Structure 1
């Protein structure tokens, strides 16, 4: 069951370029004075970067009134006519609405690309595979939106939830279907909130090339259901982008897949890094790789790099 874009198709521009802005962990609360910092940062980022799509990777609106919070956040992109993708975090359903209620509300918002609230027999909400079309009118890249859910639902296991087996199977089927439809493996990026366990494993191995910082341990689930292994086997995903851990912003190479954090986009509604900002990801049509950097609220650029990393 493939989730595709109908009302708003993503595509590379005539120069073969495509730009993504990732916002994560806004922890937005309508009416809260600190939240205005997030709105200001988002506005300046979009005016400067002019992305083709914005991707929110969870913990976006965490306080009631939920609808007003989402309206205020999304107005920043909708008013600029920028299509966007939303994945939820572990805090998005801790206020007045359930996860499904949040997804149902978002599914009716204009310009949302992954606008199907749920998929039959697939855990979570807003899971989607989205094609970025090339200038030859064929799929050139895939963007996967995945719900990493919230907290463990298994008695006796504490901590965060993990991708369900049906989500892993959904990804495998989607990836295979995309390859069959195009006659080749289409490169892909995946976006979700909670890092899977391979993040910490990869960063701990000093031989792995990396850029950026880790200032807290990864808040990963203790159960590994195999999503990374599935991506490694399918050979389409070249980068994954998460949030969740506010003071981590690294990108590390793990067997050819770039495991990356976004940049904390929130404010003093929660614990913070020195400056909030966004991760920028640039794709080039026909190239299996990406260029990325962090843009802080004042325009300062950090950790500009290409992935795969250049060989030394």
Structure 2
């Protein structure tokens, strides 16, 4: 099949798939506390998710990241991971990965490894139990830490994703860094993004520029820039004293769009070609109206990629959240 090339000659080789909008946490920068979730009939079934992802893999997608909500709260989700493993076995898919809040890893780490998952990203913004309960609203830190232990014991490489929040975890910069170093875990910091109505939270008050975070790291460590690029938003450094890799995802202070190789599929079948734009393509009709013919789905995917924009317009520099997206991060899957 013809591979997916967007109008700016970028090959689309990375698909992020939200398998559910539900989550067992209510992180303050991601969801409102009393979320209204989608009716289950609107969600793609696991079989439909298999067919959709398989179509993308047939068009050259080599990396598949499963997200949510919290993907591991989706009933039967391990059967989906087991189904995707056939694409790893064939060599069509190079990597099957997962982003999780860690709450269910203690239950599923061994099953994920058996399905071919080798890396997981765990969202963890603080090591303080009280602050963890505050920012997740419903979460329990010990459960997440046990999940990380289980993932490492199962042979999964863990990376921590921490959202940088001024006045919340800026005081834990070195605590988190040293905790990750002691466990041979890489750490990526993410600037808070203007996504969705989250009630009383003010993202301008929360915003902690990663340039400041990096400057603080350099006061204690020797920080070496790395040339490593994944086609995505992260830029990496190595801390020479610990040997660990630190990533910075800075959509607000640095635009990474020129090398973007990814698209995002929601749990209801909408394809977002850019996290920072509202344009999307609804692939569900092509999937459901032609249950025995993938040609209309492939055609719809190609048409969507042909509409992928050059970039986004997130900007906090004028003291307002330009480019703010009304949808929640849990809907698009990060």
TM-score (norm. length: structure 2): 0.41
Q: Considering fraction of residues, name the structure with more strand.
A: 1
Q: Considering fraction of residues, name the structure with more helix.
A: 2
